[in-house]
Structure 1
Amino acid sequence: MVPDPYDVVFKSTDENGNVVANKSNGVIRDYPRKNPYDTKPGEKPYVLEIVWRNVFIMLYAHCAALKVFWTPCQLSTILIAVGYGILGSWGIAAGAHRLMAHKSYKANRNLQLLLIFFQTIALQNSCIEWVRDHRVHHKYSDTNADPHNASRGFFFSHMGWLLCKKHPDVRKYGSRISMADLECDPVLRFQHKYYVWLVLLISLSIPIFISTYIFGDTFSAAYHMNIFRIVLAWHITWSINSVSHIWGNRPFEKDILPTDTFIIGFLAFGEGWHNFHHVYPWDYKVSELPNYYCNFTIPFIDFFAWLGWATDLKMASDEMIRKRIMKSGDGTHRYSIEEAKKKKTAKELLDLFNNKVLQKSNPHELEGDFADTYWGYGDNDIPEEEIKDITILKPTKGK
């Protein structure tokens, strides 16, 4: 019997598959640096290698996407692209991201299959590849081991990382992140193996067929509208890696690059509250905001929780959030401001603001303690006390 791929808790492993000790047993691990050209003793100097095939693919995709503005198309074709774009966004946000990468909730087989189908629509690599890169990103955020290291600048973290070979540290340290929970799933292995053919069928052929043969639009209009839909979704996703690592507030942890960015939160279906997300990667809401505030993935997951298809929805408690804000936030959160108003005079409040916001430490200059970072629920580096404090909604029956 194949184990439930979303119910596996495992430890980080090295290149040979051996368990790597974590901070709890006092073993210090070797961690990557932020400057790609800052090599360690015995390492070869880093040389940037452009992957020209990817450059030409990206150039063609963007030119084909822009051509839609000079190609007349029917309203039905636009609506199909919008609908397909929404499904693809849920496939990434609710599927590859919150379910598979971070294990922030559990899904039954029906929901898993639906999300894999939706994720294929987005054309952002197979689920296994997407999750692998994302877990490494969280574990070694903004270092040379991060596939889209924001310390290397806006363009690199946005899309440049897709146009060149990975830094050696991405493979070296990434091999320590186990993917056993996904690689044991035959459906995900099938999607990974036949990804190109599945994309041609699901992401392109189906919407083009509907637009041309059912609604009578031209092939050119249907084709270029779908390429535009794909490229637009790429840039929204990439903006989480670039924009949300540069501009915005850091109300939960001021000493990391990820920020909370409203516009990205809105466009990316709730994925823009990135500072919160890097502090609590296992929270299924990816934000601490109430209700469905600019987070269109929460009602999607909640609907399937109501159906009984999604269970064990993990969430940070208000007390956990408040403590973290007061401990390490940048002072921009309403909790910080309310607390300051209670205790400080006007002059002291101004001093507090200057110290915490205007003169806060520069995350670009910090070397993080990676023993305190983890990719989500199941990473062996999560503190036991944090696991105990996690609020679980719709717990699995019998547990």
Structure 2
Amino acid sequence: MAPYLTVSTGMVADEGLKKLVAPQAGPREYQVTWHRVLLLTYQHIASIYGLHLLTTRAAWPTIVFNMVTFYLSSLGVCAGAHRLWSHRSYKATRPLQMFLMLCHSIASQHSIFIWVKDHRLHHRYSDTDGDPYNASRGFVYSHIGWTCVNRHPEVQKRGKLVDLSDIFANPIVMFQKQHKEWLNMVMGFILPTFIPMYFWNETFSIAFHANQFRYILCLNGTFSINSLAHMFGTQPYDKNIAPSQNIITTLTTCGEGFHNYHHTFPFDYKAGEVGSFLNFSTSFIYFCAKLGLAYDLREVSKDVLEQRMTRTGDRSKDTYGVQFMRKQEMKEESAD
């Protein structure tokens, strides 16, 4: 697997627009989307009740089922919308793309089309007003507030410059875009509620609220990439940017918390230093590659990694990923 040193930004030229330098957040007026606020408030309350039911009254198959749907939805977001479609860090066969599209529908995080568009903007204009989740506006805004207010004019303006030609050419992604309302409802809420009721006679209340907990857990895990991982953690690869290595985000997103690494090398299919139980999405992609379902996996060479760490990284604080790499290298040296 050859190291790739460059990657497309997914943007066309933005000449004539004001240059945005992070951290940046200009004055703005917020228009609150109240129906979104009410819906998210209800879903968070329902998820808390769902956690209570999972730990007190749910049948064990319901607990296992919700763990499985959590991991499936995380794969749809992390291995699918993020690493495959946003960054094109590897290629996938049609069957794998279909699977990841359905997993993303279980997550019900809008559509892959919008997810990719927002994320490419995020990398191009990270922590500025061109970033949909601008962490410079604080934790609440970057975590969930951005979904509850009108889009910033800079996001709207620069969103028109995002190159989505690869997405428009993908029939699987465009099918989901066209049918996202019923796909998200069926895959994300109806089936996960119906299956426990039908197959092992779980009550509607437990099945429904347990699924709300699964949905909100995955949603907040994704949100934590934009908030926690842009505010707290270490920066061993580039100390000049906000994205950081955050263990909480890693654990709640199946491996997306190696965020300083990811923003330094966004084209790496691992989105982090290692593939292990801390990075389930990487292990999944690697397994699919062994089966011939994924191919052309892009990653960074060790030499490029070390050079970048030496040149721009803050090596005063080590991270779990870097520690793991060094232990592996010591094992290899001792074996030789």
TM-score tier after normalising by the smaller chain length? 0.7 to 0.9
* 1:146 alignment partner, SS class: coil
Which digits, 9 at most, give the CA deviation of each residue in 1:319-373, with x for residues without a partner?
11111111111123669x99xxxxxxxxxxxxxxxxxxxxxxxxxxxxxxxxxxx
Which of 281, 288, 302 matches 1:297?
281
- What's the counterpart of residue 16 of structure 1? none
Distance 1:188 1:69 in 2: 32
Structure-to-structure mapping, 1:314-353, within 5 angstroms: 314-332=298-316
Kept in 1: contact 2:246–2:257 (CA 8 A)? yes
Contact kept? 2:9, 2:124, Cα under 8 Å: no
Tell me the equivalent position of 2:297: 313
Matched, 1:258 2:257: no
Give the superposition deviation at 1:29.
Answer: 5.9
Corresponding position: 1:122 with 2:94: no
Q: Which residue of 1 aligns with 2:39?
A: 57
Identity of aligned residues (%): 37
CA distance in 2, matches of 1:183, 1:9: 16
Q: In the superposition, relative to structure 1, how do residues 235 and 11 fare at CA in structure 2: closer, same or farther (>3 Å)?
A: closer
Q: Against the structure 1 CA distance between its residues 245 and 94, is the aligned structure 2 distance closer, same or farther, given a 3 Å change threshold?
A: same
Structure 1 pair 138/83, CA: closer, same or farther in 2 (3 Å)? Answer: same
Provide the rounded CA distance (Å) in 2 between the counterparts of 1:94 and 1:172. Answer: 28
SS at match of 2:278: coil
Q: Is 2:55 aligned against 1:95?
A: no
Structure 1 residues not aligned, in runs of 5+: 1-7, 14-19, 22-26, 39-45, 339-399
CA deviation vs aligned residue, 1:10-66 (integer Å, no higher than 9, x gap): 9633xxxxxx27xxxxx786323654435xxxxxxx311111111111111112112
Contact 2:97 / 2:172 at 8 angstroms: preserved in 1? no
Distance 1:9 1:140 in 2: 14
Return the alpha-carbon distance in structure 1 between the equivalents of residues 16 and 261 of structure 2: 27
The alignment status of 1:12 with 2:1, answered yes or no, reads no
For 1:129-278, what aligned pairs fall within 5 Å after superposition?
A: 129-278=114-263
Q: Provide the rounded CA distance (Å) in 1 between the counterparts of 2:317 and 2:97.
A: 35
Q: CA deviation at 1:139?
A: 0.6
More helix as a share of residues: 2
* In structure 2, distance between residues paired with 1:260 and 1:10: 22
The alpha-carbon deviation at position 274 of structure 1 amounts to: 0.2
Instruction: Tell me if 1:74 matches 2:59.
Output: yes
Alpha-carbon distance between aligned partners in 2 of 1:61 and 1:274, rounded to the nearest angstrom: 28
Residue of structure 1 equivalent to 2:4: none
Contact preservation (8 Å) 1:105, 1:313:
yes
Measured in 1, the distance between the counterparts of 2:193 and 2:103 equals 16
> In the alignment, what sits opposite 1:388?
none
Instruction: Quote the residue 2:19 is aligned against.
Output: 31
Unaligned stretches of 5+ residues in structure 2: 1-6, 324-336
CA contact (8 A) 1:325 1:333 kept: no
- Residues matched between the structures, number: 311
Check 1:209–1:244 CA distance in 2 against 1; reply closer, same or farther (3 A cut): same
RMSD: 2.2
Instruction: Tell me the amino acid that sits aligned with residue 283 of structure 2.
Output: P
State the Cα distance separating 1:73 from its structure 2 match.
2.2
CA displacement at 1:251 relative to structure 2: 0.7
Deviation at 1:199, TM superposition (A): 1.4
- Any idea what the Cα deviations from partners look like across 1:281-317, whole Å, max 9, x if unmatched? 000011123x425111111001110111111100001
- The structure having more radius of gyration, on CA atoms, is 1
1:254-296, CA deviations, whole angstroms, 9 ceiling, x for partnerless residues?
111000112321221110000010010000011123x425111
Could you say what secondary structure the match of 1:194 adopts?
helix
Distance 2:142 2:225 in 1: 9
- Cα 1:293/1:199, change in 2 over 3 Å: closer
Amino acid at match of 1:165: N
Mapped to 1, the partners of 2:69 and 2:108 lie a distance apart of: 12
Change (3 A) 1:320 1:70: closer
Letter in 1 for 2:45: C
